[in-house]
Chains A and B, each alone.
Chain A
Amino acid sequence: MIGTYREALNQAMREEMRRDSRVFLIGEEVGYYQGAFKVSKGFVEEFGPQRVVDTPITEAGFTGLAIGAAMAGLRPIVELMTFNFGILAMDQIVNNAAKIRYMSGGQLAIPIVIRGPGSAAHQLAAQHSQSLEAWFCHVPGLKVIAPATPRDAKGLLISAIRDPNPVIFIEAQLLYPTKGDIPEGEWTIPIGQAEVKRVGRDVTILAYSKMLLLALEAADVLAQDGIEAEVVDPRTLRPLDTKTIIASVSKTGRVVIVEEGWPFAGLGAQLAESIYTHAFDALDGPIVRVTGADVPMPYSRPLEDLAIPDRDRIITAVKQVLS
């Protein structure tokens, strides 16, 4: 069926909550308000307030509570209203969720999903427009997923809920209304598997989440100039599917990496390092990154537009690596 990214997430959680009574949703406004972005529409009616838990504005508190529930055998899904607020829960995520299994010698597992939107929407200003995926990817013990399409969102969220380890699942406010195919019924995508979203021969564009849609648009424009870009979506940011990425780079020899986050120590830096390490001899030129501007996000709409990668900047970057 064709549906929105929002509906895909709703389906994934609903199906897993029906299948497994240990799965529950917790977060701010997830119950009677149906979720800040209406992702949990109809949940409290179907599953009741014990499994769809509204919390006070206490990210550290309810994330910690959910980690405890996971240690006790439940399978919590924590909804962060946005990942900007997840900074408050960072200690719980980094010091507990990611480490308890290691520190208990494997006696305790933390099968938890922490999900919500990351990256900028429109004019939410410096504190509410951040792309923080690199923070989570830095931590051993966490898996990090950032799907771009409804199909990937459903398949990967189900895999995340079933995964026995903590998974950070990063959505995007601007992706919620985007539409696409949603496979019905049991549909899972393995964590750690990239996908070639568009086949090409001249250059590899690596992009994930919102940036994937821009990369595909850019590839369509480039095709009019006879440049066939291959667009690869890692989908899972950690563990990274180096194999698929390297296969594409080996074919094209040229790479553009697109990310919305800041450039310094950003995710693209890691992607570039992985490519240089495994496929240096396949490269025909230096990798070019298209990133968010290295500034706090401006509130001004024209400035905000300048701070976020767009289609034309990707096209310019592709032409630069092909020069």
Chain B
Amino acid sequence: MITRVVMPKLTDTMEEGIVVAWKKQEGDPVAVGDVLAEIETDKAVMDLEAFGSGFLRKILVPEGQAVKAGALIAVIGELDDDIDAVLAEATSESRPPTTTPSPQASPPIPTKPSPEAPPVSPPSAPPTETPVVAREKKISPRAKALAEEHGLDISTLVGSGPGGRIVERDVLNALQAAPGATAHQPIVRPLSQMRKAIARVTTESKAPVPHFYLTTEISMAEAERLRKQVATIRQTPLSLTALLVRAATLALQHHPDINVSFAGEALHQHTQIDIGVAVALDDGLITPVIRDCAQYDILTISDRLRTLIERAKAKHLAPEEYTGATFSISNLGPYGVHNFIAVLMPPQAASLAVGTVRSVPVVKDEAIVSDRRMQVTLSCDHRALDGAQGAQFLQTFKRVLEQPLELFLPLAPPSEGR
């Protein structure tokens, strides 16, 4: 039986995917559930499993190529199945007929991008009897560097400097003579699926959502002290991010009007606090989500975060692990950023940007003392929230970090009055 293997649509936002690697080769036996390939979606690299069994008869998409969701990428069948019809369908949908005459029997679809075959080089000329001493061209270091930068063949240049030395102006003249070559050529790097997703989502947020921003400064001296104490009694460290998530959870419990989404004619009040934490990757970022934060104590949050972040960095998160946050935190403190503003990820109505914790002089009891301070900026969707609501949230967030005992108290059953 022939099974068509298509590029799956693995997330709601996914429009195309890249075949990162084939795990089976043409001719390999395949059973249902076998991993056929690794697919890069807009957020993660995922395994593509076989839905049919037999043999992997044909691979249609080379590794590294992006194809639309739903496109045929391989064919599974028994060895005696005739797969030509299926393949013909694939070529007709992927190749414009004007450029490619319809192939006859088995269309030659390469499994790897095959460059044009290089022309066969003629046999090298027999060595001449009289050895010619190649006179090296004289060229100034500056001219040489410039020529190399523009990929100009030095042997084509005529030097105008002393003794026929090729100098900068000779290279500049040659570059001007070849228009287009002078223009600085950027290196074109195709967007990764993740980069495309980030570009789309941030544009969709920043343009239509009226953002406003509130900044405050928080003393982290006490919180850092508690973190150090935890380090003396516990093997795995308590991360600063865990403190932030716990503090945000408490503040959201106190101010549920922040934990909302704007939905046109109504506000959606979320009944659960799901906090996303932005994690930088080599080629973008991803926001793993801790679900129902209110039900975990701070140490559990710290442990869950650590494993989530590790898996995010390995691009092993499942879609449900990085979507659907109701609030998010982005911490650029480790990069030494003092303060910044985050772009909201709709439908979230608020997002917190956290700066670095640093020692600063502050006035306390009429004396200048050193304190550990951290700036945070809350981005808000003005359609859902107003300034005072955001400010009150920040007040609570600041209080629980400056008097951090509350972060460590046992979880209280949610009380109605708040």
Per DSSP, chain A at the interface is loop
B170 smallest CB distance to A (angstroms): 10
- Residue of A with least CB distance to B170: A284
Q: Are A284 and B162 neighbours in the complex by a CB distance under 8 Å? A: no
User: Which one of A23-31, A127-135, A275-283 is at the B interface?
Assistant: A275-283
**From residue 390 to 408 of chain B, which have CB atoms closer than 8 A to chain A?**
none
Q: Are B161 and A285 neighbours in the complex by a CB distance under 8 Å? A: yes
Chain A, residues 270-307, CB within 8 Å of chain B (1/0): the string is 00000000001111110000000000000000000000
User: Is A268 part of the contact surface with B, judged by Cβ < 8 Å?
Assistant: no
Q: Report the contact-size class of chain B (Cβ under 8 Å from the partner).
A: 10 to 19
Q: How many residues of A contact B (CB 8 A)?
A: 8
Q: Are A282 and B161 neighbours in the complex by a CB distance under 8 Å? A: no
Question: A residues within 8 A CB of B162?
Answer: 285, 323
- Number of A-B contacts defined by CB within 8 Å: 28
Chain B, residues 162-198, CB within 8 Å of chain A (1/0): the string is 1001011000000000000000000000000000000
User: Is B389 part of the contact surface with A, judged by Cβ < 8 Å?
Assistant: no
User: Which one of B20-28, B34-42, B136-144 is at the A interface?
Assistant: B136-144
A139 smallest CB distance to B (angstroms): 32
Question: B residues within 8 A CB of A111?
Answer: none
User: Is A116 part of the contact surface with B, judged by Cβ < 8 Å?
Assistant: no
B26 smallest CB distance to A (angstroms): 50
Known: A284-B168, A285-B167. A323 touches B161 (CB 8 A): yes
User: Is B145 part of the contact surface with A, judged by Cβ < 8 Å?
Assistant: yes
Question: B residues within 8 A CB of A280?
Answer: 141
Chain A, residues 97-123, CB within 8 Å of chain B (1/0): the string is 000000000000000000000000000
Question: A residues within 8 A CB of B168?
Answer: 253, 284
Q: Are A285 and B165 neighbours in the complex by a CB distance under 8 Å? A: yes
Q: Are A253 and B161 neighbours in the complex by a CB distance under 8 Å? A: no
Question: B residues within 8 A CB of A281?
Answer: 141-142, 144-145
B191 smallest CB distance to A (angstroms): 34
B78 smallest CB distance to A (angstroms): 64
Given contacts A253-B168, A285-B167, 16 further A-B contacts (CB under 8 A): A253-B140, A253-B142, A281-B144, A281-B145, A282-B141, A282-B145, A283-B141, A284-B140, A284-B141, A284-B142, A284-B161, A284-B167, A284-B168, A285-B140, A323-B161, A323-B162
What are 27 A-B pairs with beta-carbon distances under 8 A? A253-B140, A253-B142, A253-B168, A280-B141, A281-B141, A281-B142, A281-B144, A281-B145, A282-B141, A282-B142, A283-B140, A283-B141, A283-B142, A284-B140, A284-B141, A284-B142, A284-B143, A284-B161, A284-B167, A284-B168, A285-B140, A285-B161, A285-B162, A285-B165, A285-B167, A323-B161, A323-B162
The chain B residues found within 8 Å of chain A, CB to CB, are 140-145, 161-162, 165, 167-168
Q: Across the A-B interface, give the 8 residue pairs with the lowest CB-CB distance, nearest first.
A: A284-B142, A284-B168, A284-B140, A253-B142, A281-B141, A281-B145, A284-B167, A280-B141
The chain A residues found within 8 Å of chain B, CB to CB, are 253, 280-285, 323
